[in-house]
Structure 1
Amino acid sequence: MADIEEARRAFDRFDLNGDGRITATEYKSAMAQLGDFYVTETVAEAVIKTKDANGDGELTFEEFWDSLNKRAKPAAEPA
């Protein structure tokens, strides 16, 4: 499971305007600041869409946190 304080710091780095939501534009911009200049608006929208539980095109911290925890869970063992 991810550490919630680390997750909050990561979320805040992406939430450039501090409104509590990450848009595709913010995601793309934050990735560029981190050195990944290959993330286009289309790619950013696709990434957001995979984690966006309510379908509004933006990520809240709760959606961000949930996506981290889903990824961190080990795969189920085959029976």
Structure 2
Amino acid sequence: MADIESARKAFDRYDLNGDGLISASEYKSVMAQLGDFHVTETVAEAVIKAKDGNGDGLLTFDEFWASFDRS
């Protein structure tokens, strides 16, 4: 079960430029830092798109938080 504080820390780790949004390039970059070099730009875009509620190609914290299983 995720808690909002942990989710915020995770979100902030992915939000490299601090603008309050996670882009595909930020996601790809962080995944590489974590050792997953198989995440291409295309894969990163697909991950963002799957969670992107408003279709702008970026994740807000609310969209990120909504993707967690909080049951």
TM-score, normalising length from structure 1?
A: 0.86
Could you say which residue in structure 2 is the equivalent of 1:25? 25
- Which residue identity does 1:54 align to in structure 2? N
1:29-68 paired onto structure 2 within 5 Å: 29-68=29-68
The 3-state SS of whatever aligns with 1:53 is coil
Give the secondary-structure state (helix, strand or coil) at the position aligned to 1:21.
coil
Q: Equivalent residue of 2:54, what SS?
A: coil
Unmatched 5+ residue regions in structure 1? 75-79
1:2 Cα shift? 1.6
Q: Is there any run of 5+ residues in structure 2 with no aligned partner, and where?
A: none
Q: How many angstroms does 1:73 deviate by?
A: 5.4
Aligned to 2:9: 9
Count of equivalent residues: 71
**Cα separation, 2, equivalents of 1:46 and 1:15:** 17
Partner Cα distance (2:59, 2:70) in 1: 20
Higher share of residues assigned strand? 1
Q: Max radius of gyration: which structure?
A: 1
Runs ≥4 in structure 1, deviation > 2 angstroms? none
Pair 29,60 (structure 1): closer, same or farther in 2 beyond 3 Å: same
